[in-house]
Amino acid sequence: MSDVKKVVLAYSGGLDTSVILKWLQDVYQCEVVTFTADIGQGEEVEPAREKAKKFGVKEIYIDDLREEFVRDFVFPMFRANTVYEGEYLLGTSIARPLIAKRLIEIAAETKADAVSHGATGKGNDQVRFELGAYALNPNIKIIAPWREWDLLSREKLLAYAEQNSIPVEMKHKQGGSPYSMDANLLHISYEGRHLENPAAEAEEDMWRWTVSPERAPDQAEYLDIEYRNGDPISLNGKALPPHELLAELNRLGGKHGIGRLDLVENRYVGMKSRGCYETPGGTILLRAHRAIESITLDREVAHLKDDLMPRYASMIYNGYWWSPERVTLQTLIDQTQKTVNGWVRLKLYKGNVIVTGRDSATDSLFDPTIATFEDDAGAYDHRDAGGFIKLNALRMRIAANQRNKK
């Protein structure tokens, strides 16, 4: 007999967690509390409530975390211009620490003995959820069904769902196993099916948020983004809450075929994995943020951020959001953003995000009197460059002289 009387399940209402809900009831014979985080996945939220009710769940948490997600997780990550392995904007990774945080809070509120999640034993999410949970409650019990049961394929999960009358949305019109998908305000991801062959092109009807660049409008669209302390605060002159601003950028980017990515990435557990991602708003924000930093950040500060970014990206990808090293690095990053104020103008056209202008009335380090190719009235003394170059060449001149003696 299990000593777990009550467990909080991170519940999306999709195939995996729908099966897990019934499995927990059958195997652990415990009360299940479901928690669904509304972080912008839209249509998945209310069906999750109905599915949970169908299986007798009495405590159902569906929390609107969209603003907190973007304000406290997405925006801090974008202050660092964070990209994993040169391409991935970490849409799945950055949602996990928030879900872990709320799981632990609900476990405390409901006096649950354990928390559970639907991450597989092969994936990164098990690490992210559990590192977060342990960081916030070191004594919590975690149930990871994928590491316990024998339902180790999509087909077995579908068979279990059919046997137990668990409704499953088929996300592919041709039938068979659905894509493994994850959606939030920052992105939507796709894995599985024929994507497991890295040589196979993704099907066009798989994509949900973006049109193909070929079908995007022939007319470019301009937009202005205003920044304060490194975060976007308005779009085209209209102040918007963080989650609404990102949602609108998703709409605009999707309309213009922006933000598709087909990637083979290195998972933390050691294997390579192929996934496809749509991140239209995030793709726009990355380009815009780098543009406003280009005129407001000191050169060495900007280069230091670029040096540190891959480590910061790995911390998020690998699940270390709540670690002391990430918190420490965030403090440094946030300090650099105090002068990142101003606006950026962008042009969206057939999959491209093109910076066409940027300015800061208060913090620009661009001095036209010095940068000009015309007469600068003595603002810059060209003769200073000679000594500067000669001093920087000193070590190379010494080495060359030494080689010439041989």
Question: What pTM value is reported for the model?
Answer: 0.94
6-78+85-177 maps to CATH 3.40.50.620: yes
Residue ranges covered by each domain of the chain: 6-78+85-177, 188-359, 368-401
pLDDT value for 12: 87
- Of 12, 18, 79, 96, the catalytic one is 96
Does 96 participate in catalysis according to the annotation? yes
pLDDT value for 394: 97
The per-residue pLDDT for range 367-382, each reduced to its tens digit, is 999 999 999 899 999 9
pLDDT value for 169: 64
pLDDT in 10s for each residue of the chain, 406 residues: 478 999 999 998 888 898 999 999 999 999 999 999 999 987 768 888 888 999 999 999 999 999 999 999 999 999 999 999 999 999 999 999 999 999 999 999 999 999 999 998 899 999 999 999 999 999 999 999 999 999 888 788 889 998 988 877 654 444 555 688 889 999 999 998 889 999 999 999 999 999 999 999 999 999 999 999 999 999 999 999 999 999 999 999 999 999 999 999 999 999 999 999 999 999 999 999 999 999 999 999 999 999 999 999 999 999 999 999 999 999 999 999 999 999 999 999 999 999 999 999 999 999 999 999 999 899 999 999 999 999 999 999 999 999 999 8
Does 16 participate in catalysis according to the annotation? yes
Q: How far apart are CA 167 and CA 15, in angstroms?
A: 8
Question: In percent, how much of the chain has pLDDT > 90?
Answer: 84
Architecture of domain 188-359: Alpha-Beta Complex (3.90)
- Of 180, 231, 287, 358, the catalytic one is 180
- Of 113, 125, 182, 231, the catalytic one is 125
